[in-house]
Amino acid sequence: MSVKEDISAYRKGFLKEKKYSLESQTYLKKRVFDTYHNLLVHRGLEGFSKGKKNLDLGSADLSFVKVCKENGVKSSGLDISDNVNFETDRFPIDSETIDIVTATSVIEHLYSPSNFMNEIWRVLKPGAAVILVCPNWRYSYKNYFNDPTHVHPYTEISLSRVLKNFNFENEYIVPWLVKKPAWMWDMPKAFFIARWIIPFRGDASRYIPSFLKGSSGSVLAMAIKPHIEK
């Protein structure tokens, strides 16, 4: 069975779960959209303003693309179902046309990030941003390979090095905290707090106060393609 077939078969299984319904995913992606926007603004960028061009990699059911379009962002998605192999293929996107590339839970499914990162670099405009999210091996190693399509673990350190290796700058590596105040990203020991001090996951019961929800063992990384290539 090929990698594409592996991922497709696995996806068909979990899509049957209620949390992966289109309604649930749209609600989640609205929160993700707000989080990404706040991240960009926190780092001194314009964020997801109207007219910006987004490329969402690993777009699955296109729920994030839909949310972007509802907010005036010109968004498109690419996924394995589009017959694009992120490890070997050129993305069907013109060079230097994208303002923000997003890839949520994608890079850990690739044996090598080289083509993936080079193509992200190519399609981004100078001064534009890439945002990556993936599990943090430091906190997820016990159940990381429960997902049989996970093939390459990362920590906050190794993900930072990947971004540097592909000439991105101003990398900002923080815990994956959804819809939390921006100052929480800059706390001392932020990764430890996000994993162990916040007691409940973000999808916990609605009766639990929001400030107690959002426990995370994942990494949120952002970096910029510089205006002058090295």
CB neighbour list of residue 50: distance below 8 Å, 6 or more residues apart: 71, 72, 73
pLDDT digit string, tens, across residues 64-121: 999 999 999 999 999 999 999 999 999 999 999 999 999 999 999 999 999 999 999 9
Work out the average pLDDT over 110-134: 98
pLDDT digit string, tens, across residues 183-228: 999 999 999 999 999 875 676 566 556 665 678 999 999 999 999 7
In this predicted structure, what is the pLDDT of residue 230?
47
For 3-179+220-224, CATH gives: 3.40.50.150
Q: How many CB atoms lie within 10 A of CB 142?
A: 7
In this predicted structure, what is the pLDDT of residue 106?
98
Rounded to 10 degrees, the C-alpha dihedral 18/3/146/166 comes to -100
Indicate the pTM of the whole model: 0.89
- Domain ranges for the chain, please list them: 3-179+220-224
Task: Report strand pairing: 98-104 vs 74-78.
Answer: unpaired
pLDDT digit string, tens, across residues 173-193: 999 999 999 999 999 999 999
CB neighbour list of residue 129: distance below 8 Å, 6 or more residues apart: 40, 43, 45, 99, 100, 101, 222, 223, 224, 225
